[in-house]
Structure 1
Amino acid sequence: MFPDEFDYYEATSVSEALDLLDEHSGRETELLAGGHSLLPTMKSGLSSPDVLIDIGGIDAMHGVSVEGDTLSVGAMTRYSDLLDVDAAHEHAPAFMAAVRQIGDRQVRNRGTVGGNLAHADPASDLPGAALASDATIVAEGPDGEREIPVDDYFFGMYATDLGHDELLTRVEIPSATDAVGAYAKKPSPSSGYAMVGVAALLETDGGTVESARVGANGAMDHGVRLEGVEDALAGTSLDEDAAAAAAEHATDGLDTSMMLSDLQASADFRAQLLEVYTRRALTDAADVAATPAAAD
């Protein structure tokens, strides 16, 4: 199928992109990053923007750096480029564990971190990982730059705190070089998206969990923290028994009647998957913590 006609603009700077958003504020406008979500919906007729603003060529939104105790990832950084940065794996283990499982090689060569988080598909892999990593979403708009804590960022199906006149410019992740991270998901057999995905970031001392952040995607209409699991882990020894016991709290605080339900999995089945994949993520993190490299 072919998309409807639209006006195409290629922005070369953040300010130019913001000017274009303002200039066309009265029309249906979409931003083009990697295009994996937008282009199929345009071809199918589900999305018919009047204006398409390509932000993929904005140099300032590409690249990865470590500034003090923060890993900064440009919004237009492709997954494959991020995977090649050793510092990203060192400073953001849970986030990178999720990036490694996104799509396939072709998807990772084109898709972008910012495009993923701005689109906020509940079945994508990064919402749970961003929550587990305590990320900050940095956006720029007419009033300048603002920082959005990830706990305040996701609202619902494809809904975030980003304004229609704002641009997600980078993602900042606190350094977690002393922590272990893992991501486990049940992929959809048809798309590879997460029917349920769970990311865990654990700080340990002598085998005891000092702090934990656990985030999930695919279960609800937006990424969520699994605070019941986090509370259950605190002060425990990081082993399979502790992982299994903590995973039993995966649905604590969640309205299970609001869990996603579709042809692939009912809400009840997703609740079961959430517990299973929480346990797997925690067990994987425990295995990482037990390796000599982690101990060093």
Structure 2
Amino acid sequence: MPAPIFWFNDPDKPGFKARILAPIAALYAAATARRVAKEGYKATVPVICIGNINVGGTGKTPTAIALAQRLISMGYAPHIVSRGYGGSLEGPLQVNEREHTADQVGDEPLLLSAFTPTWIAKDRAAGVKAAEAAGAEVILLDDGFQNPTVAKDVNIVVVDARRGFGNRRVMPAGPLREPVEKGLKRADVVLSIGEELAPLGALPVPLVRGRLEPLKTGMTWTNMRVLAFAGIGNPEKFFATLRDLGCDIIRAEALEDHQPLTDSLLTRLELEGKTRVAQLVTTEKDAVRLPASFRPKVLTVPVRLEVDDWSPIDAALAKVGITPR
């Protein structure tokens, strides 16, 4: 679901709704500040949190994949710990992509488990302890920047380059979970993903820029008639990727983040695709939520995060003893 337009007003000239909701936003910000001030479980291995200040999707999942692959190339055995949003299982549980479904463990953990050992746990500290016991040398905390139950050694704050921090107001007056200034005091790096760079203001930590690039799979997308659907934080990013690949998008259906792909929804999309002679296309994250019988009917566009300069992230890792082996 698109964010309210008043969230993206000029920070120096907040809209009427943002001003009206300011008292509620102040209460929310105060509650967050009290929560993050608590001390959490200190793991015996480095914990790297990939989080955000904004509400919704900013690119944390591709960041987790890219960072896991970089750590593996450096000689480490990283494990990912996720809340398992949308899954029915509590955990702590190691995700097995062959045995578990998105309904059980959540779509993001199921996707992440294809790259490195991944755990779900509603209790993040319990998940971290389980990963430690299983031999994790580094733990990537997927989300959880505002979760106080685990102490973090490195915090990477991910932001959508086009949206930035919006009107810099805390929800419901804006798109933030906490004030930018307070959040960035706990950060080590800000990672901005996307080509369009919204003004972020003066940052107290290094800014790293990256972009999502489609994997070269040999598929010819040029002029392909597609009916695209996506249930991610910012579906328009996916639709823009398809346009850049040269697809002829007959229609793009933006779903809510993690929206269940019900039989009725899939039947409607399949019928429309056949009627309009268009190929169904979706994201990797949505694809893991498709019923096995429906997956052959849908093409997937895998994307990976390309980072312009890893040196600020490498420097933050080096401070906690993570260097190439």
TM over 0.5: no
Give the helix-richer structure, 1 or 2. 1
- Report which structure shows greater RCO (CA 8 Å, sep ≥6): 2
| TM-score in terms of structure 2 length | 0.26
Give the strand-richer structure, 1 or 2. 1
